[in-house]
Amino acid sequence: MKEISITTKFSSYDSLNELPSDIQDLMDQAIAIRKKAYAPYSKFRVGAAILLDNGKIVLGSNQENAAYPSGLCAERVAIFQAGAIYPDAKILKMAITAASDTNTTSTPIPPCGGCRQTISEYEFKQEQPIEIYFMGEIGVIYKSDSLKNLLPFMFDKNFL
């Protein structure tokens, strides 16, 4: 047996004010759209804002459904909308924020597994990394330079 070791690296910002101004604006838009999420069941609201290489910003918030598998996460709402409206644009950066209606989320909340796989598809498709910034409702913001940092064993079309 051999052991392998995988190291990941994140940047950490103590507050929104510490972010570069373009990322602060992107996160502000994610926060605003998070407040419009449809989350009557989980009471957990997520907002995502994507910056494309054409300068456009695409937003998404989670959309729940009484038949739970029928809902969709904020990250995928934004990514699929970007892919539908701007199919040739590349995703440069993504800002994600999550908040609970029942308690304050103060630790960075990363994308779920399904969203990681979706982001990885676009990172693979566009052959360049996507910067991902994520936070709770308040507090520290983490930055990952690539989805591969969050999902080191990515599944892509090369396995098919």
Q: How far apart are CA 120 and CA 88, in angstroms?
A: 17
CA 126 to chain centre: 17
Q: How far apart are CA 53 and CA 3, in angstroms?
A: 39
117 in a known ligand binding site? no
Report yes or no: 108 and 135 within 8 Å, Cβ to Cβ. yes
Q: How far apart are CA 100 and CA 107, in angstroms?
A: 12
17 in a known ligand binding site? no
149 in a known ligand binding site? no
Assign 78 to helix, strand or coil: helix
Q: Which of 18, 75, 121, 123 is catalytic?
A: 75
66 in a known ligand binding site? yes
Is 75 labeled as catalytic in the residue annotation?
A: yes
64 in a known ligand binding site? yes
Q: Which residues are annotated as a binding site for Zn(2+)?
A: 73, 112, 115
Q: Which residues are annotated as a binding site?
A: 62-68, 73, 112, 115
Query: Looking at the annotation, which residues are catalytic?
Result: 75
Q: Which residues are annotated as a binding site for substrate?
A: 62-68
